[in-house]
Amino acid sequence: MQSTRRIRRACKGACYVLPAMIATSWTVGAHAQAAAQQAGDQPIADIIVTAQRRAESVQNVPIAVSVLSNAALTASGATDSVALAGKVPSLSIPQNGAVQYFLRGVGTTGSSINSEQSVATYVDGVYIFSTWSAQVPLSSIERVEVLKGPQGTLFGRNTTGGVIQIVTRDPLADPTLQASVTYGNYDTTSASAYASTKLDDRLGVSLAVDFRNQGKGYGYNSVRKEDTMFRDDLSIQGKVVFEASENTKFTGFFWYDDGHTSGQNNQVMPGYRGLDGVLSNYGKYETKANTPDSLNYKSYLAYGRIDQKLGDFADLVSITSYRRVDTLYRLDQDATPATVINATLDIPFRNFSQELQLVSAADGPFTWLVGAYYFHSSAKYDPITIAGAAAGAAGVVRYYREQRTNSLAGFAQASYKITPDTTFTAGIRYTDETQKMPSGKTTLIGPDPNPTVLPFRPDTQDSSGWTWRLALDHHFTRDIMGYISYNRGLKSGGFPLVTAANLPGYSPEKLDAYEVGLKTQFLGGRVRINAAAYLYKFKDIQVTRITDGGNVVANAAAATMKGLDVDLDVKVSDRFNVYAAMGYLDGRYDDYKTAVFYIPRPTGGVTAVRDQDATGNRTIYSPKLSASGGMNYRIPTGSGDITLDGFVQFVDDQYVGPSNLFKLPAYATANASIGWTSANERFGIKLWARNITNSYYFVQVLESTPGIFRAPAPPRTWGVTLSTKM
pLDDT tens-digit series, residues 155-192: 988 889 999 999 999 999 889 999 999 999 999 999 99
Q: What percent of the chain has pLDDT over 90?
A: 71
380, 325 in Cβ contact below 8 A?
no
To which H or E segment does residue 56 belong?
A: strand 56-57
Q: How far is CA 579 from CA 144, 187, 490, in A?
A: 16, 33, 33
How far is the C-alpha of 295 from the C-alpha of 264, rounded, in Å? 8
Determine the Cα–Cα distance for residues 422 and 592; give it in Å rounded to an integer.
Answer: 41
Q: Which of 259 and 90 is assigned the larger pLDDT?
A: 259
- pLDDT > 90? residue 28: no
CA distances from 274 to 369, 664, 710 (A): 56, 19, 12
pLDDT tier, 34 (very low <50, low <70, confident <90, very high otherwise): very low
pLDDT at 32: 45
Name residues whose C-beta falls within 8 Å of residue 71's C-beta, 6 or more positions apart in sequence. Answer: none
Structure confidence at residue 95 (pLDDT):
66
Of 568, 567, 561, the C-alpha closest to 623 is 561
Among 70-84, 131-145, 210-224, 436-450, whose mean pLDDT is lowest?
70-84
Query: How far apart are the C-alpha atoms of 386 and 333, rounded to whole Å?
Result: 10
Query: Beta strand 717-725 with 286-287: parallel, antiparallel or unpaired?
Result: unpaired
- Please tell me which of 130-139, 382-391, 417-426 the model is most confident about, judged by mean pLDDT: 417-426
Contact predicate 514/490, CB 8 Å: no
Residue range 602-628, pLDDT digits in tens = 999 999 999 999 999 999 999 999 999
Residue 720 CA, distance from chain mean position: 28
Peptide bond into 383 cis (omega under 30): yes
| In the predicted structure, residue 713 carries a pLDDT above the cut 70 | yes
List the beta strands (DSSP E) in 492-624. Answer: 509-522, 527-547, 550-571, 576-591, 595-600, 606-612
Average pLDDT, the chain: 89
Strands 162-168 and 141-148: what pairing?
Answer: antiparallel
More confident residue, 79 or 210: 210
Does position 377 have pLDDT exceeding 70, yes or no?
yes
Q: Which domains can be identified in the chain, with CATH numbers?
A: 2-725 (2.40.170.20)
Q: What is the pLDDT of residues 470-516, one digit of tens each?
A: 999 999 999 999 999 999 999 999 998 888 778 889 999 999 999 99
Band of the pLDDT at 31, cuts 50, 70, 90? very low
pLDDT of residue 30: 46
pLDDT at 389 over 70: yes
- Helix boundaries (H) for 79-171: none
Q: 338: pLDDT confidence band, cut at 50, 70 and 90?
A: very high
How confident is the model over 660-698, as pLDDT tens digits? 999 999 999 999 999 999 999 899 999 999 999 999 999
Distance CA 162, CA 523 (A): 31
User: Quick one: average pLDDT of 281-308?
Assistant: 95
Per-residue pLDDT tens over the stretch 187-215:
999 999 999 999 988 999 999 999 999 99
Query: What is the pLDDT, as a whole number, of residue 94?
Result: 73
Instruction: State the pLDDT at residue 44.
Output: 85
3-state DSSP assignment of residue 139: helix
User: Considering only 35-49, 260-274, 413-427, which range has the smallest mean pLDDT?
Assistant: 35-49
Higher pLDDT, 46 or 309: 309
pLDDT per position as a tens digit, 501-555: 788 899 999 999 999 999 999 998 999 999 999 999 999 998 888 887 778 888 8
Strand locations in 573-682, DSSP E? Answer: 576-591, 595-600, 606-612, 625-637, 640-651, 654-655, 663-664, 667-678
Q: How confident is the model at residue 131 (pLDDT cuts 50, 70, 90)?
A: low
> In sequence order, what are the beta bridge partners of 584?
564, 625
For residues 183-214, one letter each, b for 16 or more C-beta atoms within 10 angstroms of the residue's C-beta and e for the rest, the string is ebebebebbbbbbbeeeeeebbbbbbbbbbeb
pLDDT over 90 (residue 110): no
Which of 71, 72, 70, 52 lies closest to 60, judged by CA?
Answer: 52
pLDDT surpassing 50 at residue 35:
no
Q: Name the pLDDT band for 439 (thresholds 50, 70, 90).
A: confident
Judged by average pLDDT, the poorest of 285-289, 447-451, 605-609 is 447-451
SS3 track for 344-360: EEEEEEEEEEEEEEEEE
Contact between 359 and 53 under an 8 Å Cβ cutoff? The reply is yes
Helix/strand/coil percentages in the chain, nearest 5: 10, 60, 30
User: pLDDT band at 134, cuts 50/70/90?
Assistant: low
Residues 6+ apart with CB under 8 A from 458: 436, 437, 438, 439, 440
Label residue 243 exposed, middle or buried (CB < 10 Å: 0-12, 13-18, 19+): middle
In the predicted structure, residue 5 carries a pLDDT above the cut 70: no
Q: What is the pLDDT of residues 626-656, one digit of tens each?
A: 999 999 999 999 999 999 999 999 999 999 9
Report the percent of the chain where pLDDT is more than 70: 92
Span 250-275, average pLDDT: 94
Asked if 519 and 496 touch (Cβ cutoff 8 Å), the reply is no
Q: Amino acid letter at 526?
A: R
